[in-house]
Amino acid sequence: MAANLSARSYAGDRDLEAIAHLINTCEAVDRLDEGTSVSKLQQEFNAPSFDKARDIRLWEDANGKLIGFAQLWISEPGEVTDGWLWFRVHPDARAGDVEAAAIAWGEVRMREVAKERGAPVKLRAYARADECDRISLLTHWSFKADRYFFRMARSLSEPIPEPQLPQGFALIQFPGEQDSAAWVEMFNQSFIDHWNHRDLTVEKFKYDLAKPDYRNDLDLIAVAGDGTFVAFCYCEISQEENTRTGRNEGWLACLGTRRGFRKIGLGRAMLLAGLHRLKAAGVATAILGVDAENPSGALRLYESVGFHNIRDSISYVKDL
């Protein structure tokens, strides 16, 4: 590491403003839709199982100015532990030592996790398909592309078909925190077949329920006759993000149907119900992300109701 570059751990809330400023300075140049705020960072850092003391790293120049930030999202213990590395470097400090230091830190931290858990680990990172410098950097550090994703959009000014639930099922809003375990069980059974699935915990779900952007009217569930939660569509509107970007978008954050209830029209019905709710909330454009190789046919479903691809991104991985 260069002599004029120093690294340190997160020092608590007093670092939040500088981190937010660095990320937004990068966003002004890169236009990656990754702007942030102090309040948003607080929500991220206070998430269950996130170790602020060990999974955040900061780099400062000789004048004490923050020029690099990295964080690791480490999966729950399992046969293999994933560490998702996300980092940003000030535009004036790029193509130097900070990017290398961020990746090296991620590797060291994940090797610590491997030793603690006695299980293999992988270091992962994302890049947009048009981020040539980031892709070159990851490739140089022996990361390999292993999955592709699309971000899709649909104008809500276009007609939205009415949802048609199969006979015997009812559409409800999530009843409340007392049903958290049932929602989480439905979610995990719905995504168990998906690439790199990691079970959601009740603790994490309850944490998300308490976020300022959570709206119960956008949290929809299909219920079977016996009361089983069988499919869901959760949407989210970030007024803060829309104000920052000048857009009017709402996210179709997650859509799923549990095993044993697929291929009968529940997914399409829940998707259309979610779009109607976003439109009723005044949103102009619906956005979602999807695995390009999704095994359940989600991509075809989204295209069939008018979504189109607006961005490609790539998941990279390095075995340690």
DSSP string for residues in 77-144: SSSSEEEEEEEEE-GGG-SSHHHHHHHHHHHHHHHHHHHHHTS-EEEEEEEETT-HHHHHHHHHTT-E
Question: Distance (Å, rounded) from C-alpha 148 to C-alpha 161?
Answer: 29
CATH architecture of 6-142: 3-Layer(aba) Sandwich (3.40)
Q: pLDDT tens per residue, the chain (320 residues)?
A: 555 889 999 999 999 999 999 999 999 999 988 999 999 999 999 998 899 999 999 999 999 999 999 999 999 888 899 999 999 999 999 987 999 999 999 999 999 999 999 999 999 999 999 999 999 999 999 999 999 999 999 999 999 999 999 999 999 999 989 999 999 999 999 998 888 888 899 999 999 999 999 999 999 999 999 999 999 999 999 999 999 899 999 999 999 999 999 999 999 999 999 999 999 999 999 999 999 887 677 899 999 999 999 999 999 999 99
What is the rounded CA–CA span in Å between residue 311 and residue 287? 11
Domain residue ranges of the chain, discontinuous segments joined by +:
6-142, 152-314
State how far the alpha carbon of 206 is from the alpha carbons of 47, 214, 235, 252, in Å: 10, 11, 16, 19
For 225-241, b/e burial (b = at least 16 CB within 10 A) is eeeebbbbbbbbbbeeb
Q: What is the pLDDT of residue 297?
A: 78
Structure tokens at 46: 């206070």
Rounded CA gap, 126 and 100, in Å?
16
Length of the chain counted residue by residue = 320
DSSP characters over 243-309: HHHT--EEEEEEEEE-TTS-SSSHHHHHHHHHHHHHHHTT-SEEEEEEETT-TT-HHHHHHHTT-EE
Please, what CATH class does the domain formed by 152-314 belong to? alpha beta
What is the sign, positive or negative, of the torsion defined by CA atoms of 111, 117, 122, 125?
negative
Rounded to the nearest 10 degrees, the angle between the axes of helix 38-45 and helix 16-30 is 110
d(CA 288, CA 154): 9
Domains 6-142 and 152-314 alike in fold: yes
- Helix and strand totals (H; E) in the chain: 9, 12
Inter-residue contact 314 to 147 (CB < 8 Å) = yes
Strand (E) or helix (H) holding 223: strand 219-223
Question: How many angstroms separate the CA atoms of 279 and 285, rounded?
Answer: 8
The predicted pLDDT at position 301 comes to 92
